[in-house]
Structure 1
């Protein structure tokens, strides 16, 4: 006497393949719906390209002024001081920290200089990893950008990057 179909191995094995595809599809849809649109896709690439050219001009302005900073971190605080290119009157600086992979960790602080010309700011707790620091003055006339690894255990020189200019 032969076993009924539901007690045999092969029907269950053959049904397992489509069921595993359905489960993989559900997992894929769950992951895709959780992350939404990709922020790397640009709708207006021409406008974005013009913005990049404007940023290059600001870097060139920083190079012409020979602007260089020293970045020093101490636990959750950091200081910025001019090494060269310091203006006669210190204006406020906008310092933006961009995380390499996680856009939700990005933050910006506005700093003013103390009597010795030192800019002081604070970092969020446990911000480790590779960051891009961008420094611009209050009037946005120049721009200095550098990638750093936080926490920074030594003083770092932050100066305008040359884009083959």
Structure 2
């Protein structure tokens, strides 16, 4: 006499294959849901590309004006001053710090000059060290200066990128 089907090996083995696929799919969905979308992927790359071209024009304007800044850091305080290309009237500067790999460490500050023409700001605790891209833009948005540095740094000269003028 043969055994009933539910006491045999092969039906259970054959049913385990689709069930294992279902379990793997559930695990994959849980992982995909927990990590979400990748913020490094740009949805509208054409629009982003046009924006990059506009930014290149601002970098070229900084080159033509001969702008050169000194960035100095002491503990959490930093200063920025013009070495070359200082405008007649000092407007506020927007200084943005973009961390190389951790977007949650990015921050931006609007700084005004003191009587000596020095712009002063404070670094948050999360930005005391690490690799950052510093971007400096005046209130008028006429030019843009950007450079990658590693904090902490005692003093560094910020110059516009060279794009073949």
**Which interval holds the TM-score relative to the shorter structure?**
0.7 to 0.9
**Residues 85-136 of structure 1, C-alpha deviation per residue, up to 9 Å, x if partnerless?**
0011111000000011111211100000000000000000142211000000
Tell me, yes or no, if structure 1 residue 48 matches structure 2 residue 48.
Answer: yes
Q: 2:75 — aligned with what?
A: 75
| Alignment-derived partner of residue 142 in structure 1 | 143
The answer to whether structure 1 residue 156 and structure 2 residue 156 are counterparts is yes
Give the TM-score, by structure 2 length: 0.81
- Calculate the aligned-residue CA RMSD, in Å: 2.5
Q: Which residue of 2 aligns with 1:95?
A: 95
Match of 2:122 in 1: 122
Q: Which has the larger radius of gyration?
A: 2
Provide TM-score, normalisation by structure 1.
0.81
Check if 1:35 corresponds to 2:35: yes
- What residue ranges of structure 2 are gaps of 5+ in the alignment? 1-15
Q: CA deviation at 1:40?
A: 2.1
Equivalent residues, number: 151
The residue number in structure 2 matching 1:109 is: 109
Q: 1:51 to 1:118 in 2, by over 3 A?
A: same
Moved more, 37-46 or 64-73: 37-46
- State the partner residue of 2:4: none
